Amino acid sequence: MNKKILLIDEDRQNSRKFMQYFEKSFIVNTYHDGLQGLIKAMEWKPNIIILNHSLLNVNSIELCRQIHQQLHTIIIVIGATLTEEDIVGFYHAGAYEVCVGPISYPVLRCKLRVLLNLEASEKKEDAGAIYKIGRLTMYKKDYKVLQGNKELKFTRKEFSVLWNLAKKHNTVVTREELLQLVWSSSQSEDDRMIDTHVNRIRKKLKQHSINLNIKTVWGIGYALQSEEMKEVMKMA
């Protein structure tokens, strides 16, 4: 069954070209209004949402955040004039990936396939997997983190970073490993994505008084440490 893509872009000409190219491989829907796109996303539940960063009459970062809070789906943001502040804002809001500058449809198609295959592989390998880390319990299938009975809010990317650090607790996970495991990328210029997500995780752990520490190993990567962490236990 073909995967579903929802494009939210006010440029009608771009939307027509997008649909003509991608409807050969995907089930495609396009909306030119951000709020209507959000409503359609809730009803249709697409596998991927592609969001143009320069929507009128709506804050695109806030729209990204609303979509992420309502749906566990891949969100890709595309923009030709994104600032570093914009990029960080979209990642904080739950974007799976932010593409800066013009991107050709063949390249975007390959990127979509990689992300979908990566997600399918993760679900197949880790469906039902549970990790207990100190006072936290992580549920891979639902990207859920519980502290006792209280659910803590992590974006999918934040969860994936924490998950991969937890699987190798007290061991250094290189930046290259995280880029490949979480973003399916090996580009060094994407390093700031890691820093952004690690800092967000640190703040959330501190906010909830969780005795887990992500130690930076300069020039190499990160290691998850805790005095309370005796082991990371995987339960099927």
Q: In angstroms, rounded to a whole number, what is the distance separating the alpha carbons of residues 51 and 38?
A: 11
Look up the domain containing 95 and give its range.
Answer: 4-124
Enumerate the β-bridge partners of residue 51.
Answer: 8, 77
CATH number at residue 178: 1.10.10.10
pLDDT for 232 equals: 41
pLDDT for 167 equals: 84
- Give per-10-residue mean pLDDT for the chain (236 aa): 88 92 93 89 92 87 87 88 88 87 89 82 64 86 88 90 88 86 64 85 91 88 72 41
Q: What is the pTM of this model?
A: 0.58
CATH number at residue 79: 3.40.50.2300
Q: In angstroms, rounded to a whole number, what is the distance separating the alpha carbons of residues 69 and 16?
A: 28
**Same domain (yes/no): 146, 211:** yes
pLDDT for 155 equals: 87
Please identify, among 104, 124, 144, the residue that sits at the C-terminal boundary of a domain. Answer: 124
CA distances from 57 to 9, 33, 100, 114, 209 (A): 12, 9, 22, 33, 39
**Same domain (yes/no): 105, 131:** no
pLDDT for 54 equals: 84
pLDDT for 131 equals: 85
